[in-house]
Amino acid sequence: MSFFQVGWSPIMTIKSQVLALKYRPQSFKDLIGHEEIATTIYNSIKNNSSANAFLFTGIRGIGKTTFARIVAKALNCEQALEGRCEKKCSHCEPIANSNHIDVLEMDAASKTGVDDVRELIEFSRYPPSLAKFKIFIIDEVHMLSKQAFNALLKTLEEPPKYLKFIFATTEVKKIPITVISRCQRYDLSRIKSEELFNYLKNVTTKEKKDVEDNAVKLIVKLSEGSVRDALSLLDRATISNKENSLTFEDTQKIFGHVNKSSYIELLELILLGDEEKIIDHYKKLYNSGIEPNLFLNDFLEVLYFVKNISYIENGGNNFTLNASDYKKITFLSKEIDPNTILLFWEFTLKTLKEINIVANQNLLVEMFLVQLTYLKKKNVTQNSQQIELKNTLIKNVDVKNNTNKDTINQIKNIQQEEEKIEKKTNLEINNLKDLIEMCYKKKEMKLKYELENNVNLVSFSNMKIEISFNDKLDKSFVKDLSEKLYDWTKNRWLISFSKEKGTISTKEEKHILKKKYITEYTGSNEYKNLIEAFPDIELIDIEKKDD
């Protein structure tokens, strides 16, 4: 019976609870952001047509386990279904505290094996002791092993009338499709910023805390749509602040957050190319407490806004940009070439990948910002050269004025030469060896590996390749190879599978040749002399040179 004590927790008084537990919803009416899902489940329970198994999926802190407990209470208590029980009956309070004898919570992260599930199934054979339904709540169900899922399948599909399963997971893709198809699945989306803002304001009123609206908006932004994260951040902010009031500036210091306006000013300095001011500005940001990794992520966000500001509404529910920042970014987006922004974006992503390689990340970011100024100058120079070249071509190739026909003939000759080169490329791939060599030249190592290891050639002629293959061949091999062959030869190739065995793979052929060379060499006098001189030596590999 000790197995079913997993998930039990001591009863805590309301005063000792953190906000995330203190304001945990206890009925369908208390839930925010999931009204449609709550209504659907409410109606199914009320009409006695609830599913055998429920599956709740979504990000952390979105309300999956809370939903599971509310459903468990609604199934076992009619007053709880209507939201009138208020934890007074013998079912609702124990369910809320995870210690009801017929509602068993299991943490799949610590109980992943098939034996654990078998024990669960064995226990499910007995009807509930007190409640109407026996309910198994399995949190982080994706952590169960494959064997455990298989053991659960039959019971999950045809459970006894008194048995219900409720699953919760953050990674639904790791759950076998055979399990998902036996559940009624509900995807809990992130809570909208406006709803979460109103909810937090209501909490601050109940807690008698004076918190500025902008501070609440910042907490909403940092929580990324997670109610638990939002309440935890609010708890941390109000505890960190000794006074009963919490300002926006206090919240920024507590969480090490920097205004978007600082990043916008930095971007303006980069565009002006003032290296000294750029470094000074970044040092101020760094000294304020922002980490280099977080700085790069926030910088990416500003680049995104500059590129896509025309698609972003500046309504009251946009907690990312204030009115002033919105105007600045709108102005910048009209002044900056989109190609420059995309170039900055790619370079920032590249720096993010490299940031963990260096010991002093701060120096990397400083050099990154300086490099952006040179990227901007280079991009401007290239654009100017392109415009100049375009204007020159327009002047030289003016068909209407019949000026400089030699230039037109030169362009035609260049095109003809390119066509000849393309045709010549077709002749370069005449057999499997040529194809493997081409993959090597084009740095298509995945295709090269598949051709050498998992392909047996049947025939190769006239842009038609017929092959047989083993079980290890990648599923996208034919599609990828066809696309590359078209890119290289400008012609469509036909790649088909054959029932014939075909020749051995290139890897096997090399292995046989190597074995042959080793056998030949071990029979030579030279090898025998070596053995006599060095009895302990062993021939492991051999390479045959052209000379």
CATH of the domain spanning 260-377, picked from 3.40.630.30, 1.20.272.10, 1.20.1070.10, 1.10.260.40: 1.20.272.10
CATH number 3.30.565.10 is the correct assignment for the domain at 2-187: no
pLDDT along the chain (547 residues), means of 10: 40 61 87 90 89 92 90 83 66 81 85 84 85 90 89 87 92 91 91 89 88 86 88 86 76 78 87 87 84 88 87 61 80 85 90 87 89 73 53 49 49 50 56 86 85 86 83 82 85 81 78 80 80 78 66
Reduced to 3 states, what is the DSSP secondary structure of residue 247? Answer: coil
* Phi, psi (degrees; rounded to nearest 5) at 497: -100, 145
Phi-psi region of 137 (alpha: psi -120 to 50; beta: other; left: phi over 0): beta
Could you tell me if 131 and 162 are in contact, meaning their C-beta atoms sit under 8 angstroms apart? no
Task: Report residue 138 CA to chain centroid gap.
Answer: 24
Reduced to 3 states, what is the DSSP secondary structure of residue 79? Answer: helix
What pLDDT does 167 receive?
A: 93
CATH of the domain spanning 193-255, picked from 3.40.430.10, 1.10.8.60, 3.10.129.10, 3.50.50.60: 1.10.8.60
- Residue 68's nearest CA partner among 57, 82, 79, 56 is 56
> Can you read off the two tokens belonging to residue 322?
């204030």
DSSP 131-189: SS-EEEEEETGGGS-HHHHHHHHHHHHS--TTEEEEEEES-GGGS-HHHHTTSEEEE-P
What ranges do the domains of the chain cover?
Answer: 2-187, 193-255, 260-377, 429-503
Architecture of domain 429-503: 2-Layer Sandwich (3.30)
